[in-house]
Amino acid sequence: MSVTKKAEPQAAAVPAQATSPENGEVLLRVEGLVKHFPIKKGILQRQVAAVKAVDGIDFEVRKGETLGVVGESGCGKSTMGRVITKLIEPTGGKIEFEGQDITKLGTRGMRPLRRDIQMIFQDPYGSLNPRHTIGSIVSAPFRLQGVEPEGGVKKEVQRLLELVGLSPEHFNRYPHEFSGGQRQRIGIARALALKPKLVVADEPVSALDVSIQAQVVNLMDDLQSELGLTYVIIAHDLSVVRHVSDRIAVMYLGKIVELADRTSLYEAPMHPYTKALMSAVPVPDPTRRGAKSERILLKGDVPSPISPPSGCRFHTRCWKATEICKTSEPPLLQLAPGRQVACHHPENAEDQAPDDTTLLAVAKEAIEVVTLARTDTEPEPATESEPDSEPETSDVADVTDAADETDAADSGDAADSGDESEVQPSADADEPDDVQESTDK
Ligand SMILES: Nc1ncnc2c1ncn2[C@@H]1O[C@H](COP(=O)(O)OP(=O)(O)OP(=O)(O)O)[C@@H](O)[C@H]1O
C-alpha cells in the first residue's frame, strides 16, 4: 500500500506499484474453499437447495502484502472474508494460517489465533455497541484474551486511539458522539489492539463520505507500514482497492476469475469481467479533462448463486462467450507471470480455445459500450468533524457512481433476503455485545 498515490494524477492509468512482497512468506493459504448456505423447507426443514456463496477458491496472502478482493454485490466476497477469519465455518476446502491447518478449529481452538486474525467491518454505525464507551469497546479484545498490556489497559487504549488519529480524551465517550470516519477509526483501533498479523477489512470505507474514505484508507496504509500488517481488503468496485493493493482477486459468483498484481491488472485485464469492472472506474485525471473513455455496461442481472450458470459462470453476460464457455468451466490458470485467469477467451493473452469461434447468441447482446467524458477531479480531503458535531452524511456517489450503475443490475439475487437480519459478527466472536445488528446488506 502506498500513502501518496491517491494525490498523483493517474494519467498513466496505473499508480506506481507498491513494494510488493512478491515472493514473500505465505501467511494465509486457501485451497478449494467452499461455503454453501443451505436452503431448507417444510416442517422437517429438509435441505432443498443451497446458496453457493463461495464455490471453490484458491489463493494465498503473503506476509506484509495487501490483497484486494473485488466483485459485484452478492459474488461472495464478504462470505469469503468471514470464512477465512473463521467467523463462519467453511463447507469444504482448507484454510492454513502460518502453515497451520485451521479449517476445523472450533471456537476454543481458534481462541489463541483470534489475536492474530482480526476483521474490520463495513458499517461503522452498526458495528459499535452504542451503550459501551469507546474505552470499553477498544479494550474488549484485552478482556477476551485475558491480556494485560504493559502500563495497563487504559493507557494502551489511549495509545491506540492516538495511533488511529483520535484523542485519548475520547476514552469515556460513546459511539453516537462520533462521525462515520471516526467510528471506523475506533473499529480499526479495536481490530489492532492485539497486534494482529492478518486484518481482513470488509468494505472498510464504503459507508463513508468519499472524502473521509481517503483518510481512512491512508490511515490503514500508514498502520500497515508501522505495524507490519497484512491486509485482505474487500471492496465492491476497483476504485478503493486500486490505490492500496499489491495484488487483486476478482470474484464472480463465488469464484475467483482473475488474480493478478495490481499493475498488470490495470494495464491489461485478462478476464472480460475484470475489463468490464475496470471500465466502470472513473479515472480522475485533470490533465485529460474532457477526454473520452469507453465504458462497458454489462447487461442482465448477476445470475442466482443458487443455480449458477454451467461452464464459465460469466458466460451469460460475456460478449466473448462461445459454446465451450457454456459447457466447460475454465480453470484458474497462470497465463502470464504472476497472473491467474479463468477464461477460455482471455483478453491480452493467448486464446485458450482458439477453435471455438462462434459466439453464443447471448454474447451478442451481452454488453453496451458507452463513451463517456472522463470525470476529472479527485475530491478534496475533508477534515473529520469533532465528536460533538454532526456526523458526515454518507455520499459516496462521486467515486462510485459509475460502478453503481453496474451494480444496479445486481438485484436479481434470489438469496439476498437471507442477509437482511443478519447480526454482524465480531472477530471477537465471544463478545457479541459489542456488535450491533446490521442493515446495510
Ligand atoms: N447467512 C446467509 N444465509 C444465506 N445466504 C447468504 C448468507 N450470507 C450470504 N448469503 C448469500 O451469499 C451470497 C454471497 O453473499 P456475500 O455477502 O458474501 O456477497 P458480497 O460479494 O460480499 O456482496 P456485498 O458486496 O453485497 O456484501 C449472496 O447471494 C447472499 O445472499
Q: What is the pLDDT of residue 17?
A: 40
- Secondary structure of 53-116 in HEC code, one letter for each residue: EEEEEEEEEECCCEEEEECCCCCCHHHHHHHHCCCCCCCEEEEEECCEECCCCCHHHHHHHHHC
Mutate to test the pocket of ligand 1, among 35, 36, 37, 47 (most ligand atoms within 8 A of CB): 37
Q: Residue 262 carries which side chain, given as an amino acid letter?
A: R
Q: What is the pLDDT of residue 236?
A: 83
Other beta carbons less than 10 A from residue 181's beta carbon:
26
* pLDDT 10s digits, 5-47: 333 333 334 444 444 455 679 999 999 999 999 999 999 899 9
Q: What is the pLDDT of residue 383?
A: 53
Kindly give, in sequence order, each residue whose CB lies less than 8 Å from that of residue 196, ignoring residues fewer than 6 positions away. Answer: 115, 116, 117, 118, 229
Number of H helices, E strands in the chain: 12, 14
Other beta carbons less than 10 A from residue 433's beta carbon:
13
Atom of ligand 1 nearest to the CA of 254: 14
Atom of ligand 1 nearest to the CA of 79: 18
Q: Which three cell numbers stand for residue 153?
A: 489497559
Kindly give, in sequence order, each residue whose CB lies less than 8 Å from that of residue 64, ignoring residues fewer than 6 positions away. Answer: 21, 24, 224, 228, 229, 230
Would strands 230-235 and 198-202 be described as parallel, antiparallel, or unpaired? Answer: parallel
Q: 24-116+194-384+396-416, which class in CATH?
A: alpha beta
* For helices 397-407 and 272-279, angle between their N-to-C axes, nearest 10 degrees: 140
Q: How far apart are CA 218 and CA 109, in angstroms?
A: 34
Q: What is the pLDDT of residue 378?
A: 47
Q: What is the pTM of this model?
A: 0.81
Alpha-carbon Rg for the chain in angstroms = 22
**Domain locations in the chain?**
24-116+194-384+396-416
Q: What is the pLDDT of residue 419?
A: 36
Mutate to test the pocket of ligand 1, among 77, 84, 419, 420 (most ligand atoms within 8 A of CB): 419
Residues of the chain with pLDDT under 50: 2-20, 376-381, 388-441
* Residue with CA at minimum distance from ligand 1 atom 12: 53
Q: So what's the ipTM on this one?
A: 0.98
Tallying the residues shown for the chain, one arrives at 441
| DSSP H/E element including 293 | strand 292-298
Kindly give, in sequence order, each residue whose CB lies less than 8 Å from that of residue 317, ignoring residues fewer than 6 positions away. Answer: 273, 298, 299, 300, 302, 362, 366, 367
* Residue with CA at minimum distance from ligand 1 atom 3: 418
Q: What is the pLDDT of residue 210?
A: 83
For ligand 1, the distance from its centroid to the CA atom of residue 308, given in whole angstroms, is 14
C-alpha distances in Å from residue 188, one per residue of 138, 182, 268: 9, 10, 34
Kindly give, in sequence order, each residue whose CB lies less than 8 Å from that of residue 104, ignoring residues fewer than 6 positions away. Answer: none
